[in-house]
């Protein structure tokens, strides 16, 4: 009822007097955009390896992927809408990949800075560590939500409400698992303030996420029910001279879908120095807490670990590829048995642009667990990422990358891959994003 009331209020604020409508016709605009992404990878060990029947792992894998998006956007004073169809898949994949609706939303805006946006939409906040588009992945993230907000005078406030089902019912609900979004219920409140006459920005974030627990036909303790976890924290950015800095802290509480208590946290700092239009330097540190009792089974053996408290931090719906090394070992795929010893990521890098269309970068990562495990070194190894990006046309960009990681026995055990200590990965991406039609009337 409160959501409907807010929606009706926004509509009322956005309405123009009849005289105003007669004096000036609304200005309409329609845009049709096509986004094509071609992506190829060659992996020598690491992420994506599958175990063979004899217990060995493939050392190398190559594949090509493609993603196509077709978007139609419309706007006029006080209203905007967008629909995006998407197809993605591996070249030669059985079944031809997947086709779905990536975006389908309408937004109503008022003169006073209030707005309401409803439907399937991309959510992106701050540095995208917690909530982001994750656009590197073929199946990038979007959410079925209602977003109510206000933006004006340096302040931004967004309230996001999501409730997911698998089907419409006459009465009752459905057991919701493995839907288009992982959560059953999601409530998010985000506030951002830009301090006047400075380049200081501050964001606060609160999330309440309800995951479906129990069993579909369960009774008693196993009956379907929502388990709620909370995430609260903030993000700070400050720029001065040629230096830009960022810092964040987030804490997770509540219970997971298995009714296990959560108490986890993370913190990060980053600094970037852009000396001139050619040279830039960056460095930073990420700390994500981990489980204080993390058992690593020997291969082929069974074991059971019972956690009274989950202490590994889960950066829920963020763009993970941006932060922890381009090989995506962390927070994209799980560790053994689904638990995590957390992560420490100390990194430094340099970027160079010989001319405005070409950008080169190299970043070194020292990676370690956040938790000391019995019989294992905390260090996970060293990773270095190289990337080159060239703007062929204004809407055509080519990127190439190569990553090398020298890991150790700890990494080998955590990832359950034999001889997985000398890892290499090469990739390319061709991104073509022309605007096919743009018409105003």
Euclidean distance between CA atoms 417 and 20, whole angstroms: 69
Helix H or strand E segment including 11: helix 2-14
For residue 399, how many other CB atoms are within 10 A of its CB?
A: 15
CB 160 within 8 A of CB 316: no
What is d(CA 259, CA 394) in angstroms, rounded to the nearest whole number?
51
CA-CA distances (angstroms) from residue 156 to 30, 180, 243, 362? 27, 28, 25, 35
Average pLDDT value for residue range 225-234:
95
Domain total in the chain: 1
Find all residues with CB under 8 Å of 298, minimum gap 6, and list them.
none
- Specify burial of residue 308 (Cβ count, 10 A radius: 0-12, 13-18, 19+): exposed
Pairing of strands 155-163, 185-194: antiparallel
What sign does the dihedral 364-369-372-375 (CA atoms) show?
negative
Residues 408-418 pLDDT 10s: 888 877 765 55
Q: What is the mean pLDDT of residues 23-35?
A: 85
Question: Distance between CA 1 and CA 37 in Å, rounded?
Answer: 42
Distance CA 430, CA 36 (A): 8
Inside any domain, residue 27:
no
- The answer to the question of residue 24 being in a domain is no
Strand, helix or coil at 374? coil
The reported pLDDT for the residue numbered 54 is 57
Domain CATH number, residue 183: 2.40.160.100
pLDDT score of 303 more than 60? no
First to last CA, the chain: 37
Other Cβ atoms within 10 Å of 435 Cβ, number: 11
Report pLDDT for 43: 83
> What does the pLDDT read at residue 329?
81
Backbone φ, ψ for residue 14 (5° rounding): -80, -15
Rounded average pLDDT over 216-244: 90
Mean model confidence pLDDT for the chain: 87
Q: Could you tell me if residue 160 is inside a domain?
A: yes
* Mean pLDDT along residues 378-407: 95
With respect to residue 22, please indicate whether it lies within any of the assigned structural domains.
no
| Rounded (5°) CA angle 424-396-66 | 55
- What's the mean pLDDT in 81-88? 97
User: What share of the chain has pLDDT > 90, as a percent?
Assistant: 63
Residue bearing tokens 């956040």:
370
pLDDT of res. 97:
87
What's the confidence (pLDDT) of residue 404? 93
Q: Is residue 26 part of a domain?
A: no
Query: Does the pLDDT at position 374 exceed 90?
Result: no
Range(s) of the domain holding residue 261: 2-12+34-50+57-168+176-440
Query: Does residue 122 surpass a pLDDT of 50?
Result: yes
Please give the average per-residue pLDDT across 185-189, as a whole number: 97
What are 325-372's pLDDT values in tens digits? 988 888 876 665 566 889 999 999 999 999 999 999 999 999 999 988
Dihedral over alpha carbons 115, 121, 124, 130 (to 10 degrees)? 120
| pLDDT, average across residues 273-298 | 86
Residue 28 lies in a domain: no
Is residue 105 within 8 Å of 82, Cβ to Cβ?
yes
Q: How confident is the model at residue 240 (pLDDT cuts 50, 70, 90)?
A: very high
- pLDDT recorded at residue 114: 97
Rounded-to-10 torsion of CA 39, 55, 46, 424: -90
Residue 23 lies in a domain: no
Assessment of whether the complete model's pTM goes beyond 0.75: yes
Per-residue pLDDT at 379: 92
Asked if residue 19 belongs to a domain, the reply is no
CA 225 to CA 176: how far, in whole Å?
10
**Lowest model confidence (mean pLDDT) among 91-105, 158-172, 186-200:** 158-172
Are 256 and 229 contacting, i.e. CB atoms less than 8 angstroms apart? yes
Q: What mean pLDDT do residues 216-229 have?
A: 83
Range with the poorest average pLDDT among 88-97, 249-258, 298-307, 394-403: 298-307
Q: Taking a C-beta distance cutoff of 8 angstroms, is the pair 421, 409 a contact?
A: yes
């Amino acid at each position: 009822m409160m959501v409907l009331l807010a929606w009706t209020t926004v509509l009322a604020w956005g309405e123009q007097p009849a005289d105003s409508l007669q004096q000036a016709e609304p200005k309409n605009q329609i845009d049709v955009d096509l986004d094509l992404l071609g992506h190829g990878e060659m992996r020598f060990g690491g992420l994506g390896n599958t175990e063979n029947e004899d217990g060995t792992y493939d050392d190398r894998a190559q594949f090509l992927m493609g993603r196509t998006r077709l978007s139609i956007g419309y706007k006029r004073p006080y209203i905007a809408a967008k629909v995006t169809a998407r197809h993605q898949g591996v070249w030669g994949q059985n079944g031809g990949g997947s086709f779905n609706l990536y975006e389908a939303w309408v937004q109503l805006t008022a003169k006073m800075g209030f707005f309401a946006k409803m439907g399937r939409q991309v959510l992106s906040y701050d540095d995208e560590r917690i909530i982001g588009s994750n656009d590197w992945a073929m199946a990038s993230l979007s959410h079925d939500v209602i977003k109510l907000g206000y933006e004006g005078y340096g302040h931004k406030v967004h309230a996001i409400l999501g409730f997911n089902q698998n089907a419409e019912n006459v009465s009752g609900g459905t057991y919701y698992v493995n839907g288009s979004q992982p959560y059953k219920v999601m409530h998010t409140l985000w506030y951002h303030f830009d301090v006047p006459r400075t380049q200081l920005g501050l964001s606060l974030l609160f999330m309440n996420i309800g995951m479906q627990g129990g069993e579909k036909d369960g009774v008693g303790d196993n009956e379907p029910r929502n388990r709620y976890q909370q995430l609260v924290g903030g993000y700070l950015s400050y720029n001065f001279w040629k230096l830009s800095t960022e810092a964040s802290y987030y804490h997770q509480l509540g219970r997971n879908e298995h009714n296990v208590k959560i108490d986890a946290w993370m913190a990060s700092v980053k600094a970037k120095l852009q000396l001139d239009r050619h040279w830039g330097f960056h460095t930073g540190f990420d700390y994500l807490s981990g489980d204080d009792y993390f058992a690593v089974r020997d291969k082929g053996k069974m074991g059971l670990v019972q956690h009274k408290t989950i202490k590994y931090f889960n950066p829920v719906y963020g763009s993970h590829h941006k932060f922890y090394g381009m090989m995506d070992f962390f927070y994209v795929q799980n560790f053994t048995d689904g638990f995590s010893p957390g992560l420490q990521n100390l990194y430094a890098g340099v970027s160079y642009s010989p001319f405005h269309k070409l950008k080169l970068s190299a970043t070194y990562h020292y990676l370690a667990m956040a938790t000391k495990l019995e019989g294992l070194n905390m260090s996970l190894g060293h990773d270095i990422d190289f990337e080159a990006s060239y703007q062929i046309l204004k809407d055509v960009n080519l990127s190439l990358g190569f990553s090398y990681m020298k890991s150790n026995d700890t990494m080998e055990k955590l990832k359950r891959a034999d001889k997985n200590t000398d890892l290499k990965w090469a990739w390319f991406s061709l991104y073509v994003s022309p605007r096919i039609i743009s018409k105003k009337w």
